[in-house]
Structure 1
């Protein structure tokens, strides 16, 4: 009897609603049933060992915070699939080792399909290719196809004004062209119907059923030290929990429950509290919710409540996320080189491992930078405003290789996304062309943390420092330092400021600038061949 097997290879699309790969599998299963085939749909997630090693710069590739979040995402996905009459095979093997075993079968007429979301960066593409080679070779004469499906962006490349190869080098040009041509945003697709993803018989495909029945790995199974839980500091902005259910709850809270969306444009540069920004990014990065679903929720909010600059700005931010994905797809490995896509003529990155360590530890002597670096170290999250300032300090004030910062964020961020993080760092380093944006960090501190509440939250040694000195504690007289219990300098309670590079002539007119708008966050590093 003819048979069809469809493997759904999950990675950064950990949801059942608006999941193009699941819907493709459902359609293939329906067609196979019409032909009279026996059908198996085999959802798979691998905690790929390569993602839990070290980067080329020596950082943990996936830190404990994101690992804990991913474990919650996968547990939620398994539960959702079970509610549809399906299941999820989970493994700690490399996917190219597991998937061929799931496809082993007998019979004369066999059709094997592996479907996965299209990726645009080299490590993910290499994993695709390894799966395709091993799965094709394991079929024993079966008809085989690898079906990659584009589903990670708000706009589909097929609908855009230009091809990815013709993508403008400047975000604003792409955005205005996209909006002027009224490029459509596809409506979210519902989850497959219950029973639309048929499983193998219980006495068949032992490898699949073994992966379905096995408990999820622990952090220790994935190489983390005993006692490591991946739980962030309760002082963080939000107790992020992974999974599609949590993602939809957050989406509903930020829109219809709290009405926070109505004031998003005015509050988005905050740094304290749960609702100054949407905080959708961890769930978007893991694919627990699609950008299309977020956009649809915003349109519903506009229809039921209000349409204003804030509701538009949420889509604007999603467009930034798209743009970096398309930009990496266009330029590939060049984006990950030290000099990037558009090198700065004559520029050399400095080496100062002591300064780098101080930046990572939040001991630079610049309170706004230090508070943000302590927040990411303690929680895996940092505001967009904080990310821009922390990155500008490393790249422009210290002059260090931007890739060291992108790599550090890759390791720690809950909302790590390859294109978003590395694209943002690349742009801030001045390697995307256009003007160079260097932040005036003292001015930013006074503008966005005027009373010092944020820096005191994460730098308790500054708790009693008066407001006029909280962003420059080194300027306090020695007597006042003693009075408030914050001695500044070697051996003291807080470090003196590091030596930083002066503003160049070309930067003087731009030093109050910023990146021009987006909540551009996330990222994945190392040497890549896009």
Structure 2
């Protein structure tokens, strides 16, 4: 009897724990072929005079692939690595390895969904099914108290109804046994130079996180080991010397090295030991905001952005950077807190959420630059870049998002007060 082989197409889901796609593929097949594509579309330039992916995030990605490869090698297997577009290689892989079905996680950004559509069209011609999974959210869409089309557009309403009526499922266990498709050549992990980066230019010098599932789980464990210390971190007042509490879990969440449900249940366990506090609540609130933006993109697509001619702005961005925007990017505005955050972003690929609101407020409401300039620059610089969260948050600060003016959403007056205090600091 012909064995059933499933190709598991990894994207932003670089983990073994709580990975329904992987669990299902193992259960429904005789062997699996894990594959990751280094898609050149993610390593080029954008229309905004920025790079699609900066060197700091590229390094984090490479480390994350190293970690996933080692995890599969522990099972005497591997992951096939290909530099190229998925739709250009998928049919060859299906034919060469006699694949019966392809599994992947569905994304919500227009570029990512477009890539899925290209692959699905190619596979359809060979009567091969592309099965979609959703493994990036805290809540499964089928567990929400409303269908996608009826999800409240205002975050506060989404939060209230979801916390009251939905459940967070337990995590899928990491596999204990995996059978791999026979293969002799699994491909090399590219270096930064292979992805088009200038190796003579310095990569972010203060990397705040090492990529991969192993590092992400270790950071989460270490964070919760010191649960009592989280109480002492004051997040009520933002100053240059007090950025507030940040779990710094976001980069691992963005690439799927950590599951949001894993984070949720670990924090809930910590609450049972240490009791609840505002910093624990802040982490759980951040997970909800991640869900909200993903579900909004799923429901509305780019119609989420309440701005005339938004598609034109993306295809043909506004004028080239002014000197004010260039100074903002370089951290040379003359505003103490804005400059510190922008310089930190350039060095490390990370600034806390409070800092992102402050620098966005300055760009949009003081410099009066269009918000898409900031969103595109963050796309290049952030190690934890996620399309839905990044573009959704920037739109909210600009008043162009569906939840921008809602209670619990962006508070412009509050940000002005923080910035005014720091001017006098």
What TM-score results when the alignment is normalised by the length of structure 1?
Answer: 0.72
C-alpha distance after superposition, 1:352-387 (max 9, x if no partner): 622211111112121211111111112111111110
How has the CA–CA distance of structure 1 residues 274 and 384 changed in structure 2, closer, same or farther, with 3 Å as cutoff? closer
Of 214, 221, 224, 1:245 maps to 214
Of 127, 152, 176, 1:193 maps to 176
Report the counterpart of residue 164 of structure 1 in structure 2.
148
SS at match of 2:128: strand
Report the counterpart of residue 380 of structure 2 in structure 1.
411
Residues in 2 aligned to 1:416 and 1:165: alpha-carbon distance in whole angstroms: 26
Residues in 2 aligned to 1:50 and 1:147: alpha-carbon distance in whole angstroms: 23
Report the counterpart of residue 133 of structure 2 in structure 1.
149
Of 113, 116, 122, 1:125 maps to 113
| Residues 66 and 380 in structure 1, CA contact (< 8 A), matched pair in contact too | yes
Task: Report the structure number with the largest CA radius of gyration.
Answer: 1
Of 215, 220, 236, 2:188 maps to 215
Report the counterpart of residue 273 of structure 2 in structure 1.
304
Note the C-alpha offset of 1:268. 9.1
SS at match of 1:259: helix
Note the C-alpha offset of 1:439. 4.7
Residues in 2 aligned to 1:57 and 1:246: alpha-carbon distance in whole angstroms: 33
Report the counterpart of residue 2 of structure 2 in structure 1.
2
Residues in 1 aligned to 2:70 and 2:361: alpha-carbon distance in whole angstroms: 42
How has the CA–CA distance of structure 1 residues 249 and 268 changed in structure 2, closer, same or farther, with 3 Å as cutoff? farther
| Residues 188 and 293 in structure 1, CA contact (< 8 A), matched pair in contact too | yes
C-alpha distance after superposition, 1:450-482 (max 9, x if no partner): xxxxxxxxxxxxxxxxxxxxx359xxxxxxxxx
Of 191, 199, 204, 1:226 maps to 199
What TM-score results when the alignment is normalised by the length of structure 2?
Answer: 0.89
Residues in 2 aligned to 1:337 and 1:408: alpha-carbon distance in whole angstroms: 21
| Residues 64 and 228 in structure 1, CA contact (< 8 A), matched pair in contact too | no
Report the counterpart of residue 98 of structure 1 in structure 2.
89
Note the C-alpha offset of 1:226. 2.8
| Residues 6 and 32 in structure 2, CA contact (< 8 A), matched pair in contact too | yes
Residues in 1 aligned to 2:390 and 2:309: alpha-carbon distance in whole angstroms: 14
| Residues 270 and 277 in structure 1, CA contact (< 8 A), matched pair in contact too | no
- Structure showing the higher helix proportion among its residues: 2
Higher relative contact order (CA 8 A, sep 6+): 2
Q: How does 1:257-272 map to 2 (within 5 A)?
A: 257=226, 259-263=228-232, 266=235
Residues in 2 aligned to 1:389 and 1:294: alpha-carbon distance in whole angstroms: 27
How has the CA–CA distance of structure 1 residues 381 and 312 changed in structure 2, closer, same or farther, with 3 Å as cutoff? closer
SS at match of 1:326: helix
| Residues 161 and 177 in structure 1, CA contact (< 8 A), matched pair in contact too | yes
Larger displacement relative to structure 2 (353-362 or 428-437): 428-437
Runs of 4+ in 1 over 6 A off after TM superposition: 349-352
| Residues 271 and 386 in structure 1, CA contact (< 8 A), matched pair in contact too | no
SS at match of 1:116: strand
Structure 2 unmatched runs, 5+: 311-317
SS at match of 1:3: coil
Structure 1 unmatched runs, 5+: 30-38, 203-208, 342-348, 450-470, 474-530
| Residues 47 and 94 in structure 1, CA contact (< 8 A), matched pair in contact too | yes
Residues in 2 aligned to 1:221 and 1:337: alpha-carbon distance in whole angstroms: 39
Report the counterpart of residue 444 of structure 1 in structure 2.
418
How has the CA–CA distance of structure 1 residues 384 and 274 changed in structure 2, closer, same or farther, with 3 Å as cutoff? closer
Residues in 2 aligned to 1:113 and 1:371: alpha-carbon distance in whole angstroms: 50
Residues in 1 aligned to 2:239 and 2:145: alpha-carbon distance in whole angstroms: 34
Residues in 1 aligned to 2:271 and 2:24: alpha-carbon distance in whole angstroms: 31
Report the counterpart of residue 315 of structure 2 in structure 1.
none
Note the C-alpha offset of 1:262. 4.0
Of 247, 254, 262, 2:223 maps to 254
| Residues 342 and 359 in structure 2, CA contact (< 8 A), matched pair in contact too | yes
Note the C-alpha offset of 1:303. 2.4
C-alpha distance after superposition, 1:379-414 (max 9, x if no partner): 111111110011011111122111111000001100
Note the C-alpha offset of 1:61. 0.1
How has the CA–CA distance of structure 1 residues 275 and 15 changed in structure 2, closer, same or farther, with 3 Å as cutoff? farther
Note the C-alpha offset of 1:259. 3.4
Residues in 2 aligned to 1:111 and 1:379: alpha-carbon distance in whole angstroms: 41
Residues in 2 aligned to 1:158 and 1:324: alpha-carbon distance in whole angstroms: 17
| Residues 341 and 355 in structure 2, CA contact (< 8 A), matched pair in contact too | yes
Of 319, 340, 343, 1:371 maps to 340
Larger displacement relative to structure 2 (405-414 or 143-152): 143-152
Residues in 1 aligned to 2:234 and 2:258: alpha-carbon distance in whole angstroms: 22
Of 45, 67, 72, 1:54 maps to 45
Note the C-alpha offset of 1:68. 0.3
How has the CA–CA distance of structure 1 residues 376 and 129 changed in structure 2, closer, same or farther, with 3 Å as cutoff? same
Larger displacement relative to structure 2 (298-307 or 145-154): 298-307
SS at match of 1:407: helix
Of 146, 157, 179, 2:163 maps to 179
Report the counterpart of residue 277 of structure 1 in structure 2.
246
How has the CA–CA distance of structure 1 residues 351 and 118 changed in structure 2, closer, same or farther, with 3 Å as cutoff? same
Residues in 1 aligned to 2:229 and 2:103: alpha-carbon distance in whole angstroms: 37
Aligned length: 413
Residues in 1 aligned to 2:269 and 2:182: alpha-carbon distance in whole angstroms: 42
| Residues 269 and 276 in structure 1, CA contact (< 8 A), matched pair in contact too | no
Note the C-alpha offset of 1:292. 0.1
